[in-house]
Amino acid sequence: MYKAFFAKKVFTGREVIPKGVVLIENDRIAGVGTAEEVAVPDGAEIVDCQDRVITPGLIDSHTHLTLSAQIPNYAKAMQDSNNVLLLRGANNMQTDLASGVTTMRILGEKAFIDVSLKEATEKGIFPGPRLLISGKGIRSSFGHGIMASPYDGVDEVTKAVRINIHDAGADQIKLFITGSQGEFKNFTFSAGRIVERNGMHSLFTRAEIQAAVDTAHSVGKKVAAHCYGGTGLRQGVEAGIDTIEHGIYMDDEELELMIKHGTWLTLTSYAYLNDQRFINRGTPELTKGFFQHRDYIREAYRKAVHSSLQYGVGTDGQHGEIAFELETLVELGVKPVIALRAATSQAAKLCGVDDKVGALQPGMLADLAVVNGDPTERISDIRRIQAVYKGGQVAYEAAADRHAVELV
């Protein structure tokens, strides 16, 4: 079964093809190019998108299914029952699909909820993006991570990694290296509370981090680390962590260290640069710290995206807002096409699935988004998603718009 999409432009994940054609055979891309370059078989279904732009399905490189940062006091909502969290996660996935996201890297859930949601999605029980799951996040005792469980010492950390991979079927491992339950709460001798930027201690020892990395890498799995900066970032990078998540307080030396080691960064701009996210957080002391250091965070991200560092973007539970991440990149001086790569071809490399998704090229899975506008010129047009295809089938279509389809 063939489908041929004719569009005003096709963004392949790497380059822009004016008046492009995407040919799909069953669930795979069969051809991409101009009308002269792509031979459309007789009897193919024609999808007329000639006033629109087609992109690969977008990739959210850092999120949590049950974390709903769009609701007030979302941190407290994580205390809801597992059944409620499961249903909330299912609903969130449909919101993400409607934003053009067809692949999501899930970086830690309570009670292996991501395992259940991935199984339900793959069995067609309800729609959702492709999920790359981590199982339970791994933190130290008293460490940060409301969707993580505590493990201390090399043996416990090693066992936690093995359980996630061999029992839960994790696609990658998530460590929470920096941040404690008292984040931004420091006490001077016989004095009150102070708020600091980079007092980010490592809450795992170097040996514990190394054990997690070695155990995961031994079976071909990557390791992502929640890490703002400081000692934890340096130890993580030197131990072989594959991706630093957030990195909001990294300094110039730490940025250079990441570049030297080939470590990726996942930018999560909404979580730290959006006022409503701060209001919804429901943790005044933590919010105060992020507000105070917003200029530093923005500048750290600006330096990162204009360096040779490899990066992707993630919403961190801000479901339906991958567009904000791309808009922020453009605000930081990145061209729209480069920003789009951060949620397509570059994101696929970050997640280790660039042989399957992230680009429109023959042999890849037929995941694509149809945009009513031109995000290659105006990045905010990525908010105008008209249809999303996953494996060549419609996964979402805007109710007010239907594509003209004819058989030839």
Mean pLDDT of 181-187: 54
The H or E element spanning position 104 is strand 101-106
On whether both 188 and 156 belong to a single domain, the answer is: yes
Mean pLDDT of 252-279: 96
Contact in structure between 234 and 285 (CB atoms under 8 Å): no
C-alpha closest to that of 294 among 263, 258, 328, 317: 328
On whether both 400 and 272 belong to a single domain, the answer is: no
Domain holding 214, by residue range, is: 58-351
pLDDT of residue 365 exceeding 70: yes
On whether both 272 and 368 belong to a single domain, the answer is: no
pLDDT digits (tens, 9 = 90+) for 98-123: 999 999 999 999 999 999 999 999 99
* DSSP annotation of 306: T
On whether both 79 and 29 belong to a single domain, the answer is: no
pTM above 0.85? yes
pLDDT digits (tens, 9 = 90+) for 19-48: 999 999 999 999 999 999 999 999 999 999
Domain boundary among 351, 370, 385: 351
Q: What is the pLDDT of residue 180?
A: 63
Distances (CA, A) of 398 to 45, 48, 78, 229, 386: 20, 15, 30, 41, 5
d(CA 115, CA 131): 9
Can you read off the two tokens belonging to residue 172?
């990658």
The number of domains in the chain is 2
On whether both 369 and 284 belong to a single domain, the answer is: no
Q: CATH no. for residue 341?
A: 3.20.20.140
d(CA 161, CA 387): 38
